[in-house]
Amino acid sequence: MKRKALIIGVNSQDGSYLADLLHSKKYKIFGTVRNLNNLKKKWQKSTKVSLIKLNTFDFTSIDKIIKRTDPDEIYNFTGLTAGDEMYDNVIEACNVNGNFVMHIMESLKNTKKKIRFCNSSSREIFGVKKSFMINEKSKIDPRSPYGAAKAFATNIIKIYRERYGLFCGSAIFFNHESPRRGHNFVTRKISSSAVRIKLKKQKKLKLGTLDSFRDWGFAGDYVNAMWLMLQANKPDDYIISTGKTYTIRDFCEEAFNLLDLNYLDFVEIDTNITLREKKNYKVAGDFTKAKNELEWKPKVKFRQLVKMMIESDYELEK
């Protein structure tokens, strides 16, 4: 009998890669989206997903969806992403990234079926105050509404796990990218702009800084870690990262080099862009626990990731 999975936020970058993975493993997949009309599906054409509309501000609806789909596993990717706009929507960000997860936990607590649950958390729960390597024992100390909401969700999952014996955990993701990344993220902005400049559709690329560090991995690798978490003998929280950092400058240089261009000729600093981080701290994730307990490690290297994004954007722009 096919295992059933519910992917909350299936048309997100991560949700779509997970759908492809679960399809390859013969799951019956249910996926929630915010809008069924004019949906541009990100997952592969061969992947089959039964779509369900979900209003993430209507907390009672998720309980009905869980009862209706009766899944064996639930993966949650829904949320308002980090960025300057979150400061204009603090209540919404905290509700979707925090309180919504609490309602999922309540639903799982009250169901008779032993459903396994994994939530996508973020390295933003630790905040950034200095350069250091983060592991699961690092102090949770968020510095943004997004980070605070994700920290609440991570803590409430741990409480329900310990109090009620639920099989639930948090995948604490560091930055992860792919050709399916939205254009509002700096990596996709760089890859798409570099291609457009190569094709003479664009003249310059303006960025706020080139010197911020990121621990960048591939989204497809990271969702595989989530799946492994729910196949384990016991639930827990895991850092999912590469352990290596690169700057935005590194990303620009690699992206433009792949197109036989020099980024210095095209990339400009726009001082009007508000920087989320005032100092360039070098922060990376230690995935040792995931490596030892889940036998997981990232497969796609930094340069492979940039190449993957450039090639995809080149095909789109042609």
Query: Which DSSP string do the residues of 83-125 spell out, in sequence order?
Result: SGGGGG-HHHHHIIIIIHHHHHHHHHHH-SS--EEEEEEEGGG
The percent helix, strand, coil of the chain (3-state, each to 5) is 40, 15, 40
Q: Is residue 162 among the annotated active site residues?
A: no
Answer for the pair 241, 174: CB distance below 8 angstroms, yes or no. Answer: yes
Q: Is residue 146 among the annotated active site residues?
A: yes
The active-site residue out of 120, 121, 122, 212 is 122
The active-site residue out of 124, 177, 253, 254 is 124
Q: Is residue 124 among the annotated active site residues?
A: yes
Class of residue 135 by CB neighbours under 10 A (exposed 0-12, middle 13-18, buried 19+): middle
User: Containing H/E element for 259?
Assistant: none
What are phi and psi for residue 239, nearest 5 degrees? -75, 130
The active-site residue out of 27, 146, 263, 314 is 146
Q: How many CA atoms lie within 13 A of 313 on its CB side?
A: 30
Q: Among all residues, which ones are annotated catalytic?
A: 122, 124, 146
